[in-house]
Structure 1
């Protein structure tokens, strides 16, 4: 009975799956003219990324090039890292030790939580509260190895982030407010993406989905999740994935993984929070609007349930009408 239910669940979810479109040896002109305007994820293959694809395959090489530079990492007993429940710890390791722990997890002699713990490095600047991640300045010994695609104006670059992950690590589903290119260098990744239109099916808390298990979700608690359209791809070393702003994505490292991604501002600077060092804060205008919604809901709090539900729907209807210019 249970296996039948799982099979049915998988069939329902897979009925909404589309493959991410692939493009071979894409040029900057092709990206700007034919891919970027579609606002759809795209898997770019055959790009010249430099010698990193060969050199970084060796954990010893990568570890020796950077050395014992201290890096702040996520550590978790569960391979499914969840930012909503915070099922991980923040710890610090020398970079070379992190690489060896991730690339050869069976040889861990020391650990923070358990022998089977997993690690995730999302590189930050020297001062995480003020400095924006910049691969070029943060990891100068690796810069000559890697050619990052320049498919956007140089002055629009926001950050370039080095990522290192243990085998099997799955990152929570979330969206970013900036477009980005994810460059896979070592290992394979499975990436599941959901369009912005799926936000009501993802049970959000802030910019993150509360559905941790996206393959066998609890549909009793998350019944709408089975309606969410999803796009999937598997990345190999040398692949570059374009993830448009506001597209939700969930990433699983199928083995020891090293990647770098570049975020850039596709909108005018006024639509980005000037104090945002990670590039994931909603536009200031949106932050203020959400605060106003919270205040409006507070004003309705004392109404009887039936009245409160009715006027909540009125607010939703009015917002939709305003968006389509049907209400003055």
Structure 2
């Protein structure tokens, strides 16, 4: 029988062996690992035997070489990361960029930009009022994300938050909501909403300087307070801001090793309040802030981390149908557990 307060004896299973391997690869000292295992109830002789076996394993040596290659890639990324800290960066606003200038100075260089002036005559900006949307399309069934406040991983679990309702009912909810992140119509609902709201796309300019002819977009519509957590896209993206303002926080791709990306394209770092005790590597990561105004277009380059908060009721149309190569997802890792 264990003495009062003693840790129950624990066997070494494959979960522990995986933990040993991962921590040895990450530079953990063998004696430190043994100490942790003993504190967890593993007999010291068993703990030492398992750590010694891992150190002798040819499999671990092979994985260690792979880890060294990744460390070299992180070093290369870190060069640009350190250079980015030498001066404060602001997302430039550029009026009516030509396609050639946009391609050469932003798209090809993977640099964000806010384009102004291209939506001055956009019919959607004056036409898409609450009353208009409800009157024209109110009886259409649409899909919306609901119950987001109760789930800290609502983006990862977006499939479980889908709900359908008449568009007119949703418009009324947004009108009366105040500030909330509990519901939001996003690109994750586009599979259903594209057909239901198809007429709206004709109110947008074609933007053929940058986009393929006949391009469609993803319709985003929600109250003030909606939050899209830090993530990166697998393509280049336009955020075409029709109504309301959005605060956007950006992190360059070279800082990916510091944003604690352990699942797919998401980061657990909260853009509203970056917790440096929980995420200390974020301390030297430059976070670039901008506010996207109605009538502006934000170019989000592929790989850039972004956090988006609606400051007002907002309508945004996003699109990925650029005239130039935008297939960065074909070779994206299939195993998305990092």
Q: TM-score, normalised by structure 1?
A: 0.66
8 Å contact kept, 1:17–1:230: no
Alpha-carbon spacing, 1:81–1:59, altered in 2? closer, same or farther (3 Å): farther
8 Å contact kept, 2:143–2:185: yes
Deviation at 1:235, TM superposition (A): 1.0
CA distance in 1, matches of 2:220, 2:152: 15
Aligned to 2:235: 178
Alpha-carbon spacing, 1:174–1:116, altered in 2? closer, same or farther (3 Å): closer
8 Å contact kept, 2:94–2:115: yes
Aligned to 2:168: 96
Alpha-carbon spacing, 1:266–1:200, altered in 2? closer, same or farther (3 Å): farther
How big is each residue's C-alpha offset from its partner over 1:238-266, in whole Å with a ceiling of 9 and x where there is no partner?
A: 01000011111111110111110111367
Matched, 1:201 2:258: yes
Aligned to 1:149: 207
Aligned to 1:219: 276
Aligned to 1:249: 306
Matched, 1:73 2:119: no
**As a proportion of its length, which structure holds more strand?**
1
From 252, 260, 273, the counterpart of 2:317:
260
Alpha-carbon spacing, 1:140–1:182, altered in 2? closer, same or farther (3 Å): same
CA distance in 2, matches of 1:121, 1:41: 25
8 Å contact kept, 2:181–2:225: no
Alpha-carbon spacing, 1:17–1:74, altered in 2? closer, same or farther (3 Å): farther
From 222, 246, 249, the counterpart of 1:165:
222
CA distance in 1, matches of 2:135, 2:297: 26
Alpha-carbon spacing, 1:160–1:74, altered in 2? closer, same or farther (3 Å): same
The SS at the match of 1:193 is strand
The SS at the match of 2:89 is strand
CA distance in 2, matches of 1:193, 1:117: 20
CA distance in 2, matches of 1:19, 1:59: 34
The higher radius of gyration belongs to 2
Deviation at 1:86, TM superposition (A): 4.1
CA distance in 2, matches of 1:63, 1:78: 26
Deviation at 1:192, TM superposition (A): 0.8
From 21, 28, 49, the counterpart of 2:92:
21
Runs of 5+ unmatched residues, structure 1: 1-13, 107-114, 273-281, 295-328
8 Å contact kept, 1:45–1:239: yes
The SS at the match of 1:264 is coil
8 Å contact kept, 1:174–1:249: yes
Larger relative CO (CA 8 A, sep 6+): 1 or 2? 1
